[in-house]
Amino acid sequence: MRWVLIYDLVDDYLERRPEFRPDHLALAGAARDRGDLLLAGALADPYDRALLVFAEHARDAAEAFAEADPYVLNGLVAGWTVRQWNEVLADA
């Protein structure tokens, strides 16, 4: 079981992203280094959602991530939710 943070992105996400990307990636790197964040990325064509996969122990970390994320704070994310993901196949 994992936790997925799902972002609904605004229409001009790609145009506005560069200004906030370094801080967003720093936040993601810190979450990864703590062992909370496992995978992350935007869905393409269209760029309308992003998925961030958090470890089993990290539901609160997923919510805290969204609340601190420059993409959320600066309006690049129209809405977000954290959902439980029950994996069928996993490495470990």
Note whether 7 and 85 are within 8 A (CB): no
Full set of structural domains in the chain with CATH? 2-85 (3.30.70.1060)
* pLDDT above 90 for 74: yes
- Mean pLDDT across the stretch 35-59? 97
pTM: 0.94
Note whether 38 and 58 are within 8 A (CB): no
The Cα–Cα gap between 62 and 12 comes to: 24
Kindly report the average pLDDT of the chain as a whole number.
96
- Mean pLDDT across the stretch 4-17? 97
